[in-house]
Structure 1
């Protein structure tokens, strides 16, 4: 006797659960400043490379590699990715991956900081601007003064709140994501740190070459 058995269907995701790609946070001003500094470095070092004599072009080339590596590390590389399972912080020389369950806190004081796995990490991609905070405070004061007695400030979902600095808004969003996702089975685990050797190696090699060339006169 033969019997057939219909396999159980694969589990389907909960239709009521929102799905979204990783959110990313990075400083637009930092990127713009990095691009400007790269252009200046290419202009100055490029002139020495093509017009210099003796060891000057080689020294200029080593200096250019060093400068480009550092500028890219501190201005173009930093970014913060926040998904449903983890927070990934890409700093100049290392990348910190923290499952939401391992996130102990986030703070925006004089810098933006992540507390996870018993350690503290800076979020280079989300710089704190005291000027932006003062400007937001003035905007908030004007809004309160113009509002009716007892009125409260509100903002549309997804809109930028001009009464709060950008770094403070980012920290609030990350705290909300941490609280919402920390109990997920897929959000458990340990904090991992990976050094960015693709940035460190060229910078160190260029520095050594520059020192050798300068020592040789």
Structure 2
């Protein structure tokens, strides 16, 4: 099916993509780097100085564990431009043109809801209840200070404090509302599985199971 973002040759070249706004979790990236460093240290030591089946068990465990660490820490990202939202989750990539977005939901996780009713979690934009509480306390404190601390005179200042991930969801909602009717924001939702992550995990798990079964 031809869409405005991918026109047929008779329609001329496609319009260039606008730059992406990239949203990722810094804490997840830091955790991923630390976990990969720990896995490399322990696994490398087992491979180099281990005896018997130990090096093979270590290699199988690394083959299984390293892609999982990458999938859940370094891989997730949300990429938004004027035409579409691209959600890169641990095991799949979902591309949603703005015209297919039905809304965004935030509760215990942040999600994008499409017109078909399907929901896709935004792994790269995790909900932090602690950050929300901290932002709410800061907002209340600013309101008291703006009102001079006297009851009945508290005024919420402009631009209220927001948790970072809630602000990101606000930004995505504003971009969707501005672009959902655009001709270049129409098309179909596509889902692509991350076989480059799933294949080595499966191979490592099978190899590890065989080694443990053989004894």
TM range (shorter): 0.7 to 0.9
Partner of 1:138: 137
In the TM superposition, what is the alpha-carbon distance from 1:62 to its structure 2 partner? 1.0
**Any gaps of 5 or more consecutive residues in structure 1?**
1-12, 14-18, 156-160
2: CA distance between counterparts of 1:139 and 1:80?
A: 27
Partner of 1:8: none
2: CA distance between counterparts of 1:130 and 1:39?
A: 29
Partner of 1:75: 73
Is the 8 Å Cα contact of residues 144 and 154 (structure 2) preserved in structure 1? no
The residue matched to 1:80 in structure 2 has which SS? strand
The residue matched to 1:96 in structure 2 has which SS? strand
Partner of 1:164: 162
Taking structure 1 as reference, are residues 144 and 20 closer, same or farther at Cα in structure 2, changes over 3 Å only?
farther
1: CA distance between counterparts of 2:157 and 2:73?
A: 34
1: CA distance between counterparts of 2:154 and 2:143?
A: 9
- After superposition, residues 60-71 of structure 1 pair within 5 angstroms as 60-71=58-69
Is the 8 Å Cα contact of residues 95 and 193 (structure 1) preserved in structure 2? yes
Q: What are the Cα deviations for residues 31-72 of structure 1, in whole angstroms up to 9, with x where unaligned?
A: 001111111111111111111111110110110121110000
2: CA distance between counterparts of 1:20 and 1:130?
A: 33
TM-score using structure 1 length: 0.86
Aligned length: 194
Choose the corresponding residue for 1:109, options 104, 107, 119. 107
**Any gaps of 5 or more consecutive residues in structure 2?**
1-14, 148-152
2: CA distance between counterparts of 1:206 and 1:127?
A: 29
Superposed structure 1 runs of 4+ greater than 3 Å apart: 148-152
2: CA distance between counterparts of 1:30 and 1:108?
A: 19
2: CA distance between counterparts of 1:47 and 1:72?
A: 21
Is the 8 Å Cα contact of residues 95 and 194 (structure 1) preserved in structure 2? yes
The residue matched to 2:125 in structure 1 has which SS? coil
In the TM superposition, what is the alpha-carbon distance from 1:154 to its structure 2 partner? 2.6
In the TM superposition, what is the alpha-carbon distance from 1:89 to its structure 2 partner? 0.1
Q: RMSD of aligned C-alpha atoms? A: 1.6
